[in-house]
Amino acid sequence: MHGSAISLIELGAVFFGLGLLGRLAWRIGLSPIPLYLIGGLAFGAGGLVPLEGIEGFTELAGEIGVVLLLLLLGLEYSAAELVTGLRRSWVAGLVDIVLNALPGAAVALVLGWGPIGALAMAGVTYISSSGIVAKVLGDLGRLGNRETPVVLSILVFEDLAMAVYLPILTGLLGGATLAGGLTAVGVSLIAITVVLVIALKFGRYVSMLVDSPEPEVFLLRVLGAALLVAGVASQLQVSAAVGAFLLGIAISGSTAENATKLLEPLRDLFAAVFFVVFGLNTDPRSIPPVLGYAVALAVVTTVTKIATGWFAASRQGIARMGRARAGAALVARGEFSIVIAGLAVSAGVVDERLAALATAYVLLMAILGPVAARVVEPVARSLSRTPA
């Protein structure tokens, strides 16, 4: 059979399989991310039926998936909302970093992965999944709850922290010195400041540049601008993901709303491919040796995220039940943890077991997060009735 025919058959099978897995995930009320990762594990190296010949397309599609994930995340926020969220949540945000980054770093050091591996695992365990959190809050009808702005402000802080963290990690993975890493952070901070100023003062002009009444032209402009900015950012060692995120912030108003509606299907498609690619590149036989560490991290960081949400909500004077809901809402990890692990492993300078540990950890947390958000109220009520 012709090589291109085999590739088309394999790609068709992958996309159709993703559709079936996604449908199954929504029917059982979970994020599809764990199932996409399992699908990749099943058809990658060491899996049931290894796929060959589609690596070129899937690797590029996975990178586009990361760009679209961050672009749409940026489109969700205006510059004013980011500034307000940062002012409101910076203390809780610092607590979040300490409580949730340290466990990942500690496990990496115990396993002998060195400071760069520790930095990567710190990011894996630190950042909550904005996509899963938003989906769960919507499904449970909690978007109007008093604690929800607190949850969203923590997510905003985490996203801004990523804009500083990713350039450092990318620079160190590329062999840069500490001075080089700090230079990358300086460039990133300057870029963030410039983008926020432009978005606050001249956001309508950026929106006008990409806007168009014709959906086809609008799609080409927004997607083209995102890939251009991501490519330039990557060349400057700032991180393609951060570049896409900053572009999303700069686009505002109705243009941002229309771009979100237009790009969501593409985001979901390419992001699904990204998770599959990560699974394809992870040998499932490497997971059992690190599974115990993944379970330990899942237990510890579930508690620390709940503590983070509780602390943040208490600062806003929210009642105990609201504090519990805020903490449980933040438990899920997902897309960004895998993005960070993917960057680290693809650079070839950290232990390959990091991919296995991150995969097992995200599989657990992407399931635990929605479950915790659903059961927190009955559990909290049961505990409140228990005699002292």
pLDDT digits (tens, 9 = 90+) for 316-365: 889 899 999 999 999 999 878 888 888 888 877 788 889 899 989 998 99
58-67, 213-222, 292-301: which has the minimum mean pLDDT? Answer: 58-67
Q: What are phi and psi of 381, to 5 degrees?
A: -65, -40
Degrees to nearest 5, angle at CA 331 with 325 and 332 = 125
7 pLDDT higher than 90: no
Round the average pLDDT of the chain to a whole number and report it: 82
Question: What would the mean pLDDT of 136-158 be, rounded to a whole number?
Answer: 82
- pLDDT score, position 71: 84
- For residue 150, name the pLDDT band (cuts at 50, 70, 90): confident
307 pLDDT higher than 90: yes
Residue appearing with tokens 């899996």: 47
CB neighbourhood size of 284 (10 A)? 19
Q: Please list the alpha-helical segments (H only) found in the chain.
A: 3-27, 33-43, 55-75, 79-110, 114-126, 130-139, 148-173, 178-210, 215-235, 240-250, 253-280, 288-315, 320-329, 335-346, 353-385
Question: What would the mean pLDDT of 55-66 be, rounded to a whole number?
Answer: 78
- pLDDT score, position 57: 74
312 pLDDT higher than 90: yes
pTM: 0.78
pLDDT above 90: percentage of residues in the chain:
23
- pLDDT score, position 182: 64
Which one has a higher pLDDT value, 358 or 25?
A: 358
Question: What would the mean pLDDT of 16-37 be, rounded to a whole number?
Answer: 81
- pLDDT score, position 306: 95
- pLDDT score, position 199: 66
Of 235, 113, 110, the closest CA to residue 174 belongs to 235
Q: What fold does the segment set 65-377 form as a domain?
A: Na+/H+ antiporter like fold (1.20.1530)
Which one has a higher pLDDT value, 180 or 32?
A: 32
**Distance set, CA 2 to CA 57, 190, 351 (Å):** 17, 51, 37
List, for residues 73-94, the tens digit of each pLDDT value. Answer: 778 776 666 677 677 778 999 9
388 pLDDT higher than 50: no
- pLDDT score, position 51: 66
138-142, 297-301, 368-372: which has the minimum mean pLDDT? Answer: 138-142
- pLDDT score, position 117: 92
- pLDDT score, position 387: 53
Domain ranges within the chain, ordered by starting residue: 65-377
